[in-house]
Structure 1
């Protein structure tokens, strides 16, 4: 395929890349996709799919151990067969990668190349040089290029950390045994999911968090999750800064020294998992050669249309440094193609972007937090509905959590919704539609809602703006 010409050349093969290729193919464009690793990108291979599969398995074990919350029910769970669990996860990943990526590419018929991609040429005439695993070099010219190379786990420059063989969210999902103890650095969604995962599989987990859990969400989320984690035996150390990490020669584990509340504390564990964020993958692309600007973390700088500083080079997904959700990446990919090949001038709009953390209970949010609204100069009114006012939570025998609604005080229009609850992701999805429609709390309070659903909690939370919900009967 040396020196071939395409309408669109895509670097990467994840959610953004496939969405772009599907849309471009639908427009009749000739597409080539270049992947240096495993087809499918982060989500199906090392992110969403495998992590949620393991979380579901851990939850099943926890449900058995927690069955006594229902009077008259007794259950037990044996130790986890970790190799079998990982093997099952790998089989699921392979199945979805084949069906949703490899076979799909063949069905659409775009060209696939295996190798490392590097820009060459100039800003006016960008080209791609592909070096295959066998060492052959091919050159590709395209009308437009899309960089969709994703992101990778990042570790802070802590003295001694690199020598400890620490785990990341990727490598932790390949362990062949459950660590007796685990120390986790970070308090974001990846750290939270991994902490509960390994705790429910049988590890004793300690988290070292710089500020608070889910620091970008409502403070009530942090408080609720801290309570849940305490109930489950997960130790959370807030305002902790790790100063150094060393191998524990006596046990083969790790020793971390951290500054906590003005003093020094030492933490020991069998394994250390670093979940302190991710960084865009742009190294080796030679973006400077074609005039593509990058930011301080290596992200490709794009405008609201996802165009880079080179009008023929676009970027989509995690590599832009934008929100790291696979559905954002997919939306990016399709939008970039529309802007590149049609007269569209579509812009990314995150106002109603849902955010979900798959803990149990889960965290779901959409729109503004109370702090966001205040910072925007909006006079807001808020209600926080504890789950013991939601009948579904009562029959589940689990009222840990809440539903919070943020509204414009002057108009009643709903600005944001946050929930810590079972199925909170579904509540966030419902919130997207409410915000998109510009609905008010009064409108939602007067709408139909099926009894004994968690979504009914949104209606009850909206009724709380004008009613004492403690005085309501069932369904009222």
Structure 2
């Protein structure tokens, strides 16, 4: 008997899954077929002579898409991985990606969760923050837009109603993308409680009632995410400061919000509250987005200050007090008074209490689990994925890592290549990057050449009456191969993926400049910037190729 694991696309409901099961059952040699709409997968038991191609063709004949779940060699004897016991600590995107894939490969999976199902992104991260940011953007356009014939008027903001709508969507997505998978996938079992290692093969799960349960398994995936890191600032711990989690569900807008932090979370939420009507002062210990190309933080600072935000860079909070009504934030040169204080100075790995030492799992100085490109830890059968590791903290990286970890723990060989990884900060304009900036390339001993194009040279930006920002491309000296892109633009997150594909395919800036880009799109700015390596785009007509 052979088990085939397939990925299935094109399904829109449970009825589609049942229809595909009937199509598969009609293939000679198929003994059992189970299709999951929620997981987008099919598990088919057949006699040995049935090929994966025959099953894929049967699915495609019904108008759906299909492929082997693991590429070459994905079909395996059921004896190879059937019954492999896998435990996953956490239920975020990395954990669920791993659980779904491990089940497809024949494993029996237990996921362990101490809090809300779904992890950071859907509950307290990407989803609620982007909803809030979008609402703030609409409010901002009501008050300030570049068109002479559109009346500018202060928005009327009902923060309580915004939060209710936001959280309703969070609950909807949590159920659709996480809880429903647990309900529909019999290969995944949920254990609720706090997990810790007893030894390298055994986990102890402490439940809410104090009882404990031991799980002895073959493979373990650590996917516990991160939580806000709070600096050891005198007096801060005695005050009711906000983290991003509390700020996102606050039903009243502060009169004056003080934000401590200068990176992604701090900037996104500071601008959102500013646009919803709060006065905002932001305190950054260094420059804004200090790990990125300095031009990005410098230009973004100018834009945010133009909207009315006060920004204090290279400033350390000395101490904090709260008198029951106001926070007093001492920065040395002055004391700031505000009715709310948001602390967004970074995030720490959720690895305390796991007893990783007891299992022999190594961590770095911050507590992040150290993994290689195959998501392996220092213990061969223990893997890790997502924000709790030393990999970049992005939900899409976590999901990709989780899938590859599952492939590897079930006998496959899959690496995660982060050389063309996009990153986006959802301020307005957005900050989007991929690949190397000049300093990073220099550190690697690579000689570069670069060009920066102001958005006043991009026709769509001119048509939008919004020329804030720039596009910068970094290329290898000599070959002209594109190494990196840094974008500050209202649609930066949409622009950057084209640069990702160009870098992935090792294109030169000359090749990028020669591509066809639709006119009056922001992404055309990539082509124009690429052209500046060889010509003056100010001297070109519209659509000049």
Place the TM-score, normalised by the shorter chain, in its bin: over 0.9
Which is worse superposed, 426-435 or 76-85? 76-85
Contact 1:387 1:393 in 2 (8 A): yes
Find the residue that maps to 2:510 and give its secondary structure. helix
Q: Which runs of 5+ in 1 are unaligned?
A: none
User: RCO (CA 8 Å, sep 6+): is it higher in 1 or 2?
Assistant: 1
The one of 266, 289, 305 aligned to 1:214: 289
Contact 1:79 1:202 in 2 (8 A): no
Q: Which runs of 5+ in 2 are unaligned?
A: 1-82
1:338 lines up with 2:413 in the alignment? no
Measure, in 1, the Cα distance between the counterparts of 2:509 and 2:137.
34
Contact 2:230 2:345 in 1 (8 A): yes
Matches within 5 A, 1:44-63: 44-63=122-141
> Partner of 2:489 in structure 1?
421
Find the residue that maps to 1:320 and give its secondary structure. coil
How far the C-alpha of 1:65 sits from its partner, in A, is 1.0
Matches within 5 A, 1:229-240: 229-240=304-315
How far the C-alpha of 1:6 sits from its partner, in A, is 5.6
1:41 lines up with 2:135 in the alignment? no
Rg larger in structure: 2
How far the C-alpha of 1:451 sits from its partner, in A, is 0.4
Measure, in 1, the Cα distance between the counterparts of 2:359 and 2:515.
55
Contact 1:317 1:326 in 2 (8 A): yes
Contact 1:184 1:274 in 2 (8 A): yes
Contact 1:169 1:273 in 2 (8 A): yes
1:460 lines up with 2:528 in the alignment? yes
> Partner of 1:357 in structure 2?
425
> Partner of 1:366 in structure 2?
434
**Would you say how many aligned residue pairs link Structure 1 and Structure 2?**
461
Q: RMSD over aligned Cα, in angstroms? A: 1.3
Measure, in 1, the Cα distance between the counterparts of 2:372 and 2:510.
37
1:257 lines up with 2:330 in the alignment? yes
Find the residue that maps to 1:241 and give its secondary structure. coil
How far the C-alpha of 1:150 sits from its partner, in A, is 0.3
Contact 2:371 2:390 in 1 (8 A): no
Contact 1:6 1:140 in 2 (8 A): no
Q: Deviations over 1:186-221 (max 9, x none)?
A: 110111101101000111111111221111111111
TM-score relative to the length of structure 2: 0.83
Measure, in 2, the Cα distance between the counterparts of 1:377 and 1:24.
40
Q: Deviations over 1:67-115 (max 9, x none)?
A: 2x11211142433111111111110000000001000222222111111
Measure, in 2, the Cα distance between the counterparts of 1:79 and 1:228.
24
Matches within 5 A, 1:164-313: 164-248=239-323, 252-259=325-332, 264-313=333-382
Contact 1:6 1:141 in 2 (8 A): no
> Partner of 2:25 in structure 1?
none
> Partner of 1:161 in structure 2?
236
Measure, in 2, the Cα distance between the counterparts of 1:51 and 1:239.
26
Measure, in 2, the Cα distance between the counterparts of 1:107 and 1:175.
34
TM-score relative to the length of structure 1: 0.95
How far the C-alpha of 1:338 sits from its partner, in A, is 1.6
Measure, in 2, the Cα distance between the counterparts of 1:214 and 1:427.
19
The one of 180, 184, 190 aligned to 1:103: 180
The one of 159, 163, 169 aligned to 1:92: 169
Find the residue that maps to 2:387 and give its secondary structure. helix
